[in-house]
Amino acid sequence: MNFNIRDATKEDCKDVLRMIVELALYEKMPDQVKISHEDLERDGFCPNPCFGCLIAEVPEENKSKEGFTTVGYALYFYTYSTRKGRAVHLEDLYVMPEFRGFGIGKGLLSNVAKVTKEKQCALLQLSVLDWNTPSRDFYAARGAQDLTVTEGLHLIRFDEQSLDDLGNDAPKN
């Protein structure tokens, strides 16, 4: 199947949000999506964007059952490793189920890797749910290492309430 991968534009944000919701449903976390397409437009297409995004498109003759030609996305942002330097965090890589197995996911991941190298970053990192064996296998087949196993690393998060509580404990200047 023919497909094209390109940088997302502001006009793609509704499709990106649609697929973010689809991914959240698959990950059994639909209630965790709190952003809007306006948030994506503001945060990704401003003078100092918070993220980069790639889009996978198919020709009109291969559109989805629902009529979509935008069938996948990869959303990433820059971070920093005190051990390795510049890094990229791949927040989401998603391909609609009916378009899996055609190389679209690999194409998106390869293009994120290309961006990572072009920006002189040393690492490409991501998180995968422990039960998501298909995704873990997908990344492992392309050379990714599971740091939970090899280094015993755990992903730690402060949510909005935790941030408020922690911030309230900050010493006053």
Task: Check residue 104 and give its pLDDT.
Answer: 98
Please name the residue that has the structure tokens 């009109």.
60
* Angle (deg, nearest 10), helices 13-26 and 37-44: 120
Q: What 3-state DSSP class applies to 72?
A: strand
Task: Check residue 109 and give its pLDDT.
Answer: 97
Residue 147 makes CB contacts below 8 A (sequence gap 6+) with 153
> What is the chain's alpha carbon radius of gyration, rounded to the nearest angstrom?
17
Q: Which residues in the chain come in under a pLDDT of 70? A: none
Task: Check residue 163 and give its pLDDT.
Answer: 87
For residue 82, the number of C-alpha atoms closer than 13 Å in the C-beta half-sphere is: 0
Q: Residue 100: is it exposed, middle or buried by C-beta count within 10 angstroms (0-12/13-18/19+)?
A: middle
Where is 115: in which H helix or E strand? helix 104-118
Taking the C-alpha atoms of residue 127 and residue 167, their distance in angstroms, rounded to an integer, is 26
Known catalytic residues?
A: 139
Task: Check residue 170 and give its pLDDT.
Answer: 81
Architecture of domain 4-145: 3-Layer(aba) Sandwich (3.40)
